[in-house]
Amino acid sequence: MEKGIKFEVALVILAFAVYYSVGNINAQDTSALVPAIITFGDSAVDVGNNDYIPTIFKANYAPYGRDFINRKATGRFCNGKLATDITADTLGFTSYPPAYLSPQATGKNLAIGANFASAGSGYDDKTAILSHVIPLSQQLQYYKEYQSKLSGVVGSSKAKSILSGAIYLIGAGSSDFVQNYYVNPFLNKVYTPDQYSSSLVGIFTSFVKDLYKLGARKIGVTSLPPLGCLPATITLFGDHSNGCVSRINVDAQGFNKKINSAAAQLKKQLKGLKLVVFDIYTPLYSLIQKPQDNGFVEARRGCCGTGVIETTIFLCNPKSIGTCRNASEYVFWDSVHPSQAANEVLASSLILQGIDLIS
């Protein structure tokens, strides 16, 4: 099925959900289906927080953002929109919740939510410390600060309504494995992948409970993607093979089983909690294995530069040689992150899986 057709199908299904849930909508923008979107995690969902901290993990320079609004690099690790941006569009938002550390995160802009994600971060705070980025624990502290600021802008009663009706998105875990576990001799010799997964899922469980205590009731968390199929992972760990690294995909699938089990337990324990685990492994794996069936040409390397290792300022930059002309033909933008075209396919899957969060 063409990627455009998939997205249209998602919109049709979403329209039915809107029709039946419209009576419960209490949004800042009458066109939006939820009052706010609040996001935590890593580079898959970071919209620019790393622009304001001293780290090499930045995407505020060309060719990042070349297909985004006004062709501007904003800190998104993509040529254009992230899957969460496309989801916000579909939910009726006319602007995106700002990166919390940005100058835009002030006044009434806060009423549609905020983004606390930081590229290079993860569930394990040590992952973020290695990359000099914002740990998940600090993202939570920023969220508490945000709550106070929001109350100051719209009043405590309205703030409580926004926060309880908001969708909370968590996208993390990839950096924990690719940038920490697999390259850290201490971790991978002392802990098995299964043991490390369990520790990450334990952190996830505690994080969801903390959000719940702070008023969150609609939470969506992404699964791990097929980590063994990322161009960078194939280059670093593939033993000169051009195919996916199966052992790493097995680790990702093991983590995904654990987080699904943990989510099921949390929904039993926390009254009124709506918690959805978004499966991004399956749709992305499908794109990688059969790119032509989905309107893509290339799935083994990214568009930027050589496409096999570029993902930081040293490797994907304005002087990168060989960057493709048409990123919509590529599943990956750089060696780790999907292109906007791939994100459109992922977003359609997210919308279908997450209808319970807007009903």
What is residue 307's predicted lDDT score, i.e. its pLDDT? 56
7-11, 93-97, 226-230, 344-348: least confident range: 7-11
Tally of domains within the chain: 1
CA distance 216 to 357: 12
Backbone angles phi, psi at 40, to 5 degrees: -130, 155
48-220-84 Cα angle (round to 5): 35
Judge whether residue 15 has pLDDT over 70: no
What is residue 18's predicted lDDT score, i.e. its pLDDT? 46
331 is in which domain, residue-wise?
A: 3-357
Across 179-197, average pLDDT: 96
Contact call for residues 264 and 256 (beta carbons, < 8 A): no
Judge whether residue 331 has pLDDT over 50: yes
Which element (helix H / strand E) includes 274? strand 274-278
Across 183-192, average pLDDT: 94
What CATH number is attached to the domain comprising 25? Answer: 3.40.50.1110
Which element (helix H / strand E) includes 222? strand 218-222
CA distance 346 to 314: 28
Task: Return the number of other C-beta atoms located less than 10 Å from residue 356's C-beta.
Answer: 12
pTM over 0.95? The answer is no
CA distance 121 to 139: 10
Closest CA to 331 of 322, 323, 341: 341
Closest CA to 111 of 165, 49, 47: 165
CA distance 217 to 271: 9
Catalytic residue among 43, 118, 223, 328: 43
Residue 337 a catalytic site member? yes
Residue 46 a catalytic site member? no
What is residue 224's predicted lDDT score, i.e. its pLDDT? 98
pLDDT digits (tens, 9 = 90+) for 252-308: 999 999 999 999 999 999 999 999 999 999 999 999 999 999 999 999 999 987 656
Please, which pLDDT band fits residue 319 given cuts at 50, 70 and 90? confident
As a whole number, the mean pLDDT across the chain is: 90
**CA 308 to the chain's CA centroid:** 21
3-class SS string, 229-266: HCHHHHHHHCCCCCCCCHHHHHHHHHHHHHHHHHHHHH
Q: Which class for 47: exposed (0-12), middle (13-18), buried (19 or more C-beta within 10 A)? A: buried
Catalytic residue among 85, 124, 251, 334: 334
Closest CA to 143 of 113, 187, 111: 113
CA distance 345 to 256: 20
Closest CA to 80 of 333, 315, 354: 333
CA distance 4 to 23: 30
Residue 156 a catalytic site member? no
Catalytic residue among 337, 339, 348, 349: 337
Please, which pLDDT band fits residue 62 given cuts at 50, 70 and 90? very high
**CA 151 to the chain's CA centroid:** 27
How many percent of the chain have pLDDT more than 70?
89
